[in-house]
Chain A
Amino acid sequence: MRPSMKRWMWHGVYAVVLLALGFGVYLATARVDYDWRWERIPQYLVGTEGEEIRAPFDGFVDVADDGKSIVLNELKGAGSERYAGFDRLLVGDGDLVFQNDVLARKSGLQAGPLAVGLWVTLEISALSLVFALVLGLVAGLGRVAQNPAARHLAATYVEIIRGTPLLVQIFIFYFFIGTVLSLSAFAAGVAALAVFTGAYVAEIVRAGIEAVPRGQMEAARSLGMNYAQAMRHVILPQAFKKILPPLAGQFINLIKDSSLVSVMALTDLTKAGREVVSSTFSPFEVWFTVAAMYLLLTGGLSWLVRRLEKGMAAGA
């Protein structure tokens, strides 16, 4: 057999195995009489309900004669608010409405709960990533510092965080630190993830710095640079190049770990998935969709990092 044919044969084997797995899933669901209802999923990604206009306070509605605008007059007080440009009116003239009631809807598409959850997950991950990077860099520098206080503090931080489960840390951040500092669930979630990931980043940074040959620091110091200058101009740029792949892996973990913040009152992608399951009773479809959406985030991140690596390799 020619080598190229052989290669194609193995690509074929790959496809056959994938198909077999897919068929296995189909058989398994057929066994439990599962009713696939994929058509229920899209509405949770993109809503067609239209954007809602909600009442900011209790009051009486005054609809204009042409029906194209309304005025809401405050019940207790003299405040009033005018609304126009909606497509569907949900209240009548003289209606008494309460705060947060829906007055009208604009037509058009809006993000469904899963898309909103994806956005929250992305927000939490991106913010935690930035803080984790700063925290990890500081702690990593502490790990390799001469100063015993810095070294021991950094080591203690890393040991405590790596020795306890993230879920427990999230509870501590939410119930203890969050309460003491009156943090929102979002802030507590970001803090927990940043502190957790920062410990791993610190170890990656330490390993990266230690992987730069000793002679580099000696050469920099022998030229009269102080420790900070040598770190900034000589050691860290070289270390960063070495740690980019493990750092990317850690940040992909961060995105996946962020699903644990759904235990707090925080509607991230995973929590949104749970909510959609309870209203559709289609757990298989929803969780497959949620998994695909996580894959979209992590895949996007690895693609970005690969491009960055290529760019840095080109810069010698």
Chain B
Amino acid sequence: MLEPLIHLRKVEKRYANGVRALHDVSLDVKRGEVLCIVGPSGSGKSTLLRALNGLESITGGEVVVDGFAVHDHRTNLNALRRRVGMVFQQFNLFPHKTALENVMLAPTTVLDVPAADARARAQALLDKVGLGDRGASYPAQLSGGQQQRVAIARALAMQPDVMLFDEPTSALDPEKVGEVLDVMRQLAREGMTMLVVTHEMGFARAVAHRVIFMDGGEIVYQDAPEGFFGAPRNERLKAFLGQILK
């Protein structure tokens, strides 16, 4: 592989009140790689993910995504964000639009795709996430799992190079988690580059190429799943896994 798709070097994030959210984070992600990020809450996982598309600004270091220097204030972040899809814990679907309109909105407004084309593509994406028959439903009429699948379709509608998942199943009822993970598993099989912040260790073990453990704003440990979940040589990770897998 040539250039990494995502390149982070010595990234720092410190809030105005002095709290350190990220410290000395360096990371390279290749095209097609599936990366899971785990760690206790407040460890900086979400902040790291949000730094990748500029939703969170950083205070030091470099973030380069898909050729865009995110840390540079001259970079057009809107152009970057067209190439980077994001899925949120709380879905954040647009409640005043139907499922189909949610998926169509960005392509029609940002890329000026003709409505008919956008509609056809949105329908195909809803089919893909198993909701082809729910296009006319409003978010409030859908279950959490269905909403999150629409949210994934919405992000895919921009045909991104990378997909960022910020705890996509944490707000779901346990029985709805599987349907969302299935969609993500299928995406991974298709070769999508994915960064997934998650507590679903089973998913990380089965799908990820690499798992990263963060604590206190730092990357403490990273390894392929076999090593990560097998015999990690790190006490903090061992303690964390002990807690989670209990």
Chain A interface (Cβ within 8 Å of chain B)?
Answer: 213, 215-216, 218-226, 229, 233-234, 237-238, 241, 316
Q: A215-B92, A219-B86, A234-B94 are in contact. List 18 more A-B contacts (CB 8 A).
A: A213-B90, A216-B92, A218-B92, A221-B55, A221-B78, A221-B81, A222-B53, A222-B55, A222-B84, A223-B82, A223-B110, A224-B158, A225-B109, A233-B94, A233-B105, A238-B94, A238-B96, A241-B96
A275 to chain B, nearest CB (A): 49
| Chain A residues whose C-beta falls within 8 Å of the C-beta of B154 in the assembled complex | 223
B122-161 near A? 1/0 per residue, CB < 8 Å: 0000000000000000101100000000010011001000
Residue from B81, B96, B151 in contact with A224 in the complex, judged by beta carbons closer than 8 Å: B81
A219 and B88 form a contact (CB under 8 A): yes
Indicate if B106 sits at the interface (CB-CB under 8 A). Answer: yes
B138 and A224 form a contact (CB under 8 A): no
A231 to chain B, nearest CB (A): 12
Distance in angstroms between the alpha carbons of A220 and B79 in the assembled complex: 13
A229 and B109 form a contact (CB under 8 A): yes
Distance in angstroms between the alpha carbons of A233 and B84 in the assembled complex: 20
User: Could you list 28 A-B pairs, sorted by A, with CB under 8 Å?
Assistant: A215-B88, A215-B90, A216-B92, A219-B88, A219-B93, A220-B94, A221-B55, A221-B78, A221-B81, A222-B55, A222-B85, A222-B86, A222-B155, A223-B82, A223-B85, A223-B105, A223-B106, A223-B110, A223-B155, A223-B158, A224-B78, A224-B106, A225-B109, A229-B109, A234-B94, A237-B96, A238-B96, A316-B140
Distance in angstroms between the alpha carbons of A188 and B14 in the assembled complex: 53
Distance in angstroms between the alpha carbons of A233 and B82 in the assembled complex: 17
A238 and B95 form a contact (CB under 8 A): yes
Distance in angstroms between the alpha carbons of A8 and B125 in the assembled complex: 58
Distance in angstroms between the alpha carbons of A24 and B105 in the assembled complex: 62
CB neighbors of A among B34-93 (8 A): 53, 55, 78-79, 81-82, 84-86, 88, 90, 92-93
How many inter-chain residue pairs (CB < 8 Å) link A and B?
Answer: 64
In order of increasing CB-CB distance, the 5 nearest A-B pairs are: A224-B82, A219-B92, A223-B106, A215-B92, A222-B86
Q: A225-B109, A316-B140 are in contact. Are A218 and B55 (CB under 8 A)?
A: yes
Interface residues on chain B, number (Cβ under 8 Å): 27
| Chain B residues whose C-beta falls within 8 Å of the C-beta of A221 in the assembled complex | 55, 78, 81
B219 to chain A, nearest CB (A): 23
| Chain A residues whose C-beta falls within 8 Å of the C-beta of B53 in the assembled complex | 222
| Chain B residues whose C-beta falls within 8 Å of the C-beta of A213 in the assembled complex | 90, 92
A233 to chain B, nearest CB (A): 6
Distance in angstroms between the alpha carbons of A224 and B162 in the assembled complex: 13
| Chain A residues whose C-beta falls within 8 Å of the C-beta of B90 in the assembled complex | 213, 215
Distance in angstroms between the alpha carbons of A316 and B53 in the assembled complex: 32
Distance in angstroms between the alpha carbons of A241 and B24 in the assembled complex: 45
B94 and A216 form a contact (CB under 8 A): yes
| Chain A residues whose C-beta falls within 8 Å of the C-beta of B151 in the assembled complex | 219
A223 and B81 form a contact (CB under 8 A): yes
Distance in angstroms between the alpha carbons of A203 and B92 in the assembled complex: 25
Distance in angstroms between the alpha carbons of A213 and B110 in the assembled complex: 22
Distance in angstroms between the alpha carbons of A216 and B55 in the assembled complex: 13
| Chain A residues whose C-beta falls within 8 Å of the C-beta of B55 in the assembled complex | 218, 221-222
B77 to chain A, nearest CB (A): 8
Interface centre among B55, B94, B154 (most CB of A within 10 A): B94
A225 and B138 form a contact (CB under 8 A): no
Distance in angstroms between the alpha carbons of A215 and B139 in the assembled complex: 15
Interface centre among B82, B95, B151 (most CB of A within 10 A): B95
| Chain A residues whose C-beta falls within 8 Å of the C-beta of B94 in the assembled complex | 216, 219-220, 233-234, 238
Q: A216-B94, A219-B94, A237-B96 are in contact. Are A224 and B88 (CB under 8 A)?
A: no
Distance in angstroms between the alpha carbons of A216 and B129 in the assembled complex: 22
Distance in angstroms between the alpha carbons of A224 and B80 in the assembled complex: 7
Distance in angstroms between the alpha carbons of A281 and B215 in the assembled complex: 85
| Chain A residues whose C-beta falls within 8 Å of the C-beta of B105 in the assembled complex | 223, 233-234
| Complex: chain A residue closest to B141, CB-CB | A316
| Complex: chain A residue closest to B155, CB-CB | A223
| Complex: chain B residue closest to A235, CB-CB | B94
Distance in angstroms between the alpha carbons of A226 and B110 in the assembled complex: 8
| Chain A residues whose C-beta falls within 8 Å of the C-beta of B81 in the assembled complex | 221-224
Interface centre among A218, A222, A241 (most CB of B within 10 A): A222
Distance in angstroms between the alpha carbons of A218 and B89 in the assembled complex: 12
A225 and B92 form a contact (CB under 8 A): no
A218 and B79 form a contact (CB under 8 A): no
B88 and A218 form a contact (CB under 8 A): yes
Distance in angstroms between the alpha carbons of A216 and B90 in the assembled complex: 10
| Complex: chain B residue closest to A312, CB-CB | B96
A226 and B92 form a contact (CB under 8 A): no
Distance in angstroms between the alpha carbons of A208 and B186 in the assembled complex: 40
